[in-house]
Structure 1
């Protein structure tokens, strides 16, 4: 994420705190719902998802659970334009993705009536205000601040729980049932993944593929180009075919890491769907708290997660195939509801993760550089 986007995000948070906080109190709380029998009549469900791509990706298990629980219902998503590609990874799950940063889409949502609106935003008040403006009998959302008064089904939010599980709890609030995620069962497949591995084919070799994801939404979540460069060198020296992935904001960072190395650099060169294919067919993904790690969890690709200011219990891939490297000082994790405060210790928490322990984790997961079967 660019510095301009980070500044924009902080401005939006300030607007939400003052404007959103005031608007919340202008609405009367919606009437309570006690008739669980009418759940069988639910036919239209709107899911609101502001925020980053990682959050949108971890929302997919909730959408899948809604589809299983209400197979006859139409599911629509109201999200940011940048997240439409995420929902494109699950065709036929969502009937329509509408963008609230397109005025026409937002007005269309306001003109409709839904049986259920689920606001998956964790903190922002303006999202809850939008949910209150939309005509619906049932409004569900997290009770993290005064936004709770705009929902007739407020749900507790647990910052110590994996985020996909928090999202599933919203559906539990609606039905009174318990929904859980199997951490060892992938929740995404890419059936159009080409046979063989693109990185192996381009390098002319057939060792296992390790993907490095050096970028992250905040600079404080990035391990640093020097350490990633050392990692890339070590992988090459030890016979692992390495590739590097990332978005347009990671192009210069990726260039510094891969310069002069036989490492495939895909940063800024592949759309999300192609990046997803690479991750789905890779044997290992290494990176900080980013959408790449969430994609690894989604596809069941083993990962090494490098954590510092954000809580691994909430954001690191769960399951047996994943390793999290995290050495928190007393002040970590400091991230709260997507906000990382200025660090007076130069992000020492993440710098405590050494290249040597990453090497050891690679050896543990991939003792020898062999190719992952293409059908997985």
Structure 2
């Protein structure tokens, strides 16, 4: 990351800790309690990012299997609500951001056996929600800023995959690793918008500059794939920031590169990825979507070992190309091509 990016992230974390520290001075501290032998109702706090929402799905599915008669309510945001709102065994899927009267009514009228906050660090929003929601046992992952208002603190290992971190509550009830990856049925109801039988899905969307792979490197990777298999096509995912690069790649191979894609949301993206030979992607939410679809993945990561341990593809048919620096741009095209050759050979 650039020094500016690192400074912004550090300042954001410090700000959250400062606010939560202030809240702890005013909120009533919780006494220690044991978990119940069985759970009959739970409210789950879901983070805002799409990747985190997808990674929470295995916990929700495993929880329902372990406690099939339990009432499940889930708090999310309007941004990621579509990930959860069609799950039939969730009673209420309701947005806490933006604040709304339906949410206010729910948290005032309900009492839960368990409140579960699976976020590994402090959040002023979740702290406020935890303080006002009525629950017998409030559960969090161990954190010095979160701990004061929670009754039960779960293990919080830095280097554990987020999918497994989210399942820490269920590990107390006998769940074993690896956790079963899972997507709701409606993610499979959207057919691919690409009619060609053979294509590779490639995501060049970076999210921010530190994750960006330069155009010339993407060009070399895509040229290699298409020049070595004349039946292969490319489905190209790109955000607005990378759209100019995507257009240039499209112009190189015309009808063999499909861009822009008809993927207005994750459902349509799931349809495209599910029919692809594999996904090649920067470290973004599409990696977690492809892993849940059990598709081969080549993920591009920087050299942050903790981040990789937490957000690597959670399946067994993937490969990762890790930069020797904190910048993904330092990954060489040849490294990606080498992984592509190895993975495509396995799939034949």
Given the two structures, how large is their TM-score scaled by the length of structure 2? 0.85
Alpha-carbon distance change, 43 to 248 in structure 1, aligned in 2, over 3 angstroms: farther
Alpha-carbon distance between aligned partners in 2 of 1:103 and 1:8, rounded to the nearest angstrom: 26
Cα shift readout 1:151-177 (whole Å, capped 9, x = no counterpart): 1111121121111000001333xxx32
Query: Which of 286, 293, 298 is the matching residue for 2:292?
Result: 298
Deviations 1:101-154 (A, max 9, x none): 132244134313222111122212311332122111111112223211111111
- What is the Cα-based RMSD across aligned positions, in Å? 2.8
Equivalent residue, structure 1, for 2:237 = 245
> Is the partner of 1:103 in helix, strand or coil?
coil
Determine whether 1:67 maps to 2:59: no
Aligned to 2:217: 227
Distance 1:128 1:106 in 2: 16
Alignment partner, residue 26 of structure 1 = 26
The answer on whether the counterparts of 1:132 and 1:139 sit within 8 Å (CA) in structure 2 is: no
Residue 87 of structure 1 and its aligned partner are, at CA, apart by 1.8
- Counterpart-to-counterpart distance in 1, 2:261 and 2:130: 36
2:257 is the alignment partner of 1:260: no
Match of 2:115 among 107, 114, 117: 117
CA distance in 1, matches of 2:157, 2:245: 34
Q: C-alpha offsets along residues 331-369 of structure 1, whole Å, 9 cap, x if unaligned?
A: x5xxxxxxxxxxxxxx2xx23421112112111111399
User: d(CA) in 2 for partners of 1:128 and 1:170?
Assistant: 18
Aligned position for 2:3: none
Unaligned runs of 5+ in 1: 1-5, 333-346, 371-376
Aligned to 1:342: none
User: Could you give the per-residue CA deviations for residues 260-314 of structure 1, whole angstroms, max 9, x where no partner exists?
Assistant: 3230014575322100111122120001110110011101000001110543221
Q: CA deviation at 1:249?
A: 5.3
Q: Give the deviation of 1:82 after TM superposition.
A: 0.9
The equivalences for 1:283-294 within 5 A come to: 283-294=277-288
Q: Where does the alignment leave 5 or more consecutive residues of structure 2 unmatched?
A: 1-5
Summarize the Cα distance change of 1:168–1:107 in structure 2 as closer, same or farther, 3 Å threshold.
Answer: same
Deviations 1:18-46 (A, max 9, x none): 32220022222223223634x3xx43211
- TM-score where L is the length of structure 1: 0.79
* Alpha-carbon distance in structure 2 between the residues aligned to 1:69 and 1:51: 26
Measure, in 1, the Cα distance between the counterparts of 2:199 and 2:317: 16
- TM superposition shift of 1:16: 2.4
Aligned counterparts of 1:216 and 1:231: Cα–Cα separation in 2:
16
Equivalence for 2:273: 279
Secondary structure class of the residue paired with 1:136: strand
Using the TM superposition, give the Cα deviation of residue 216 of structure 1 relative to its aligned residue in structure 2, in angstroms.
Answer: 3.3
**Contact 2:282/2:300 (8 A) holds in 1:** yes
**Count of residue correspondences:** 332
Measured in 1, the distance between the counterparts of 2:152 and 2:36 equals 12
**Is residue 355 from structure 1 mapped to residue 294 from structure 2 by the alignment?**
no
- Give distance in 2, aligned partners of 1:28 and 1:122: 21
1 CA distance for matches of 2:175 and 2:244? 42
When residues 77 and 289 of structure 1 are mapped into structure 2, their CA distance, relative to the original with a 3 A threshold, is same
Q: In structure 2, which of residues 40, 51, 61 is the aligned counterpart of residue 54 of structure 1?
A: 51
